[in-house]
Copies of this chain bind each other. A is one copy, B any other.
Amino acid sequence: MAAPVILAIDAMSGDHGYPVAVDAALSSLREHPQLQLILVGDEGRLRAALAERNHAGDPRLVLQHASEVVEMDEPPSKALRNKKDSSMRVAINLVKEGRARAAVSAGNTGALMATAKFVLKTLPGIDRPAIISAIPSVNGHVHMLDLGANAECSADQLVQFAVMGSALVTAAYGIQRPKVALLNIGEEEIKGNDTIKLAASLLQQSSLNYIGFVEGDGIFLRDVDVVVCDGFVGNVALKTGEGVAKLVHQFMKEEFTRNVFTKAAAVAAMPALKALGRRMDPRNYNGASFAGLTGIVIKSHGSADALAFAHAIGVAIKAVEQDIPARISSLLGRVVKPADDAAPGAEAA
């Protein structure tokens, strides 16, 4: 049997609060025998919710009280300063203290990132953490970062993102030399800006498997494992993709409910449409990693239901079992040359 994996779950944050987190926790415990969970939040409410579900006294599930909750629209700096006993903060503290191997939260991204960075710190050689997630593509899926932590990025940071993405894909999927691309635009005259051009030249010189630029459609249609971009562009691309998927869904519903013939056709087409729905279902992609920290923090979508939240817990289990932070550190050491002032010592060794 696999070694135990202990996760801290911020059970109070997110649009739907603790009932969703509790349901997700229980289904995850059933699915993953190696899993042990620390549910962080209002102990009274959590105890009641577990009792309601006939799960009081499960030895693989312990409670950790936290008296506060970070609101979904609370400014990160305020949450960080004023809510030292929030379920979010306490869950991340458990990772820092080594009592949990990862934290999972559906709380507000900005506050979660600020808190995670403050408590856990970035890995040596990483300037800022980035948000990375799998998204569906013609090859199954592709990993993209940064999805919104850093609105502006330097070329060095983009290279660090490429390292993080490569290490994560290698660890989680066993792909030895993941194909890495930079997201860019296609017009020759203005192909990228100076930052992108510099990042491209740095990646070309690196030992990563850098395959060049992809455009927006290439994220989904090209044979690529990791797509790198700044957090502004990445966030817009991610949400644009979600928007188009919803638009197609809406149009499809309108067309299939147009008249009695199309309604009958919809019944016949249901198995294929349902299979399509499963492949595009964002719940099956829920769980973004905050890469570049010394510990593992997984962000679940604020509006996640129990199925989606459980998927985010699955992402956390994978990250723990593959020890992603250590893999990122190790790859970073091989890709990015040591600073010049370290060179004499290295020569003497």
Contact = CB atoms under 8 A, between A and B. Distances in A.
Contacts of A242: 216-217
A150 interface: yes
A184 to B, nearest CB: 8
A152 to B, nearest CB: 6
Interface residues of A, number: 73
A252 to B, nearest CB: 6
A44 interface: no
A332 B273 CA distance: 48
A236 B187 contact: no
B215 A236 contact: yes
Interface stretch (A15-23, A275-283, A307-315, A336-344): A275-283
A113 B190 CA distance: 11
A116 interface: no
Nearest to A217: B243
Interface stretch (A31-39, A84-92, A199-207, A263-271): A263-271
B114 A189 contact: yes
B235 A189 contact: no
Interface string A50-89: 0000000000000000000000010111000000000000
Given A246-B217, A261-B271, A237 B240 contact: yes
A72 B250 CA distance: 36
B248 A245 contact: yes
Question: Most chain-B Cβ atoms within 10 A of its Cβ — which of A215, A216, A237, A245?
Answer: A216
A212 interface: no
B279 A269 contact: no
Contacts of A190: 110, 148-151, 231
Interface residues of A, dominant DSSP:
helix
Question: Most chain-B Cβ atoms within 10 A of its Cβ — which of A231, A243, A250, A265?
Answer: A243
A110 B187 contact: yes
A108 interface: yes
A19 to B, nearest CB: 25
Interface stretch (A5-13, A95-103, A218-226): A218-226
B188 A215 contact: no
A215 B266 CA distance: 32
Interface in A234-263: 235-248, 250-252, 255-256, 258, 261-262
A215 B233 contact: no
A254 to B, nearest CB: 9
A276 B249 CA distance: 10
Contact of A269 (B114, B137, B216, B268): B268
